[in-house]
Amino acid sequence: MTVMDTTSTRTDTCAGPPHVDRRPDGQDSYTISEVAAFTGLTAHTLRWYERIGLMPHIDRSHTGQRRYSNRDLDWLDLVGKLRLTGMPVADMVRYAELVREGDDTYGERYELLEATRRDVRARIAELQDTLSVLDRKINFYADAGRALASERPR
């Protein structure tokens, strides 16, 4: 088991580098419909993420409407990347819980992401193999097509 040094004072922001000025006016407060438009997620999915604990601390306006920040959008970007890895939703929720629990969970977060990276690398290798098979078949049919075309009377 690999263990990382958790004595660092660095802060995990839960996402990649922040996207600066998502909107031309530099706004940092978005409605659920605006977030749905930015992310391609449905409002139903955004509410579900909140319900299951993947995004539990969404601010609300004085009228109770959800108000998402640029940091929330950055988190959603990370969640989207994790989804693309095939990480189970339960693991994504666990990761979010670990982030909220603080720096003492760096080791467990590291292990969770390492396991996901191993799975992604295995899938990539499988896809590379599949691509090689497709390339061989495509080359076969391209060569066969040229051979047939050259045999036909003109």
pLDDT at 118: 98
Tens digit of pLDDT for each residue in 70-119? 999 999 999 999 999 999 999 999 999 999 999 999 999 999 999 999 99
The stretch 45-61 carries a mean pLDDT of 94
Q: At what angle do helices 70-85 and 32-39 cross, to 10 degrees?
A: 40
Rounded to two decimals, the pTM is 0.74
pLDDT level of residue 146 (50, 70, 90 thresholds): confident
pLDDT level of residue 3 (50, 70, 90 thresholds): very low
CB 95 within 8 A of CB 112: yes
pLDDT of residue 21 exceeding 80, the answer is no
Better-scored residue on pLDDT, 87 or 147: 87
* C-alpha span between 116 and 28 (Å, rounded): 31
pLDDT of residue 14 exceeding 80, the answer is no
pLDDT at 26: 66
pLDDT level of residue 150 (50, 70, 90 thresholds): confident
pLDDT at 13: 52
Which pair of tokens denotes residue 83?
Answer: 């989804």
